[in-house]
Amino acid sequence: MHNYNEFISLMENKIISKIEKQKRLYFEVSNENIIEVADYLFNKLGCRLSTATGTETYRGIEVLYHFSLDKSGEYYCPRVVMPDKKNPKMNSITPVVRGAEWIEREMAEMLGITFEGHPRPEPLLTGNHPQNIKVPLRKWRSNG
């Protein structure tokens, strides 16, 4: 049973592009819409946040959330692209999905993303690193 069609029809004005694979729906949304989309997936559809990934691509810095609908085995994966690689900012989904707190903190620290509205933006992994490494996963990172 695929719920993708119902979800797409409800969110069609929020979805920029989509790719559907077996039990996976990858779709791009704007930063302005990520909180509403995450709220729908988590609180209305009953998905859980499985994880999230951040990547530096030719388009910018991208964050891809992986929401699992466990009863069907389907994944809903909204992506936000931040074209400004020097100052990537996006809305945090932590206020609606508390389980996003640590993964957003990790992505902030490793990729230099500012998650606006995040309740605890302090470093999680490198706070006591002796070399004070900044954004260690970025291709053109700046140290110190």
* Averaged confidence pLDDT in the chain: 88
3-state secondary structure 1-50: CCCHHHHHHHHCCCEEEEEEECCEEEEEECHHHHHHHHHHHHHHCCCEEE
CA distances to 31, 88, 113, 116 from 82, rounded to whole Å, are 8, 6, 9, 13
- Give me the pLDDT at residue 131, please: 56
Please state the pTM of the whole predicted model: 0.86
| Residue 44: pLDDT over 90 | yes
| Residue 36: pLDDT over 60 | yes
Q: What is the CATH number of domain 4-89?
A: 3.30.460.80
Domain boundaries, the chain: 4-89
- Give me the pLDDT at residue 83, please: 97
| Residue 48: pLDDT over 90 | yes
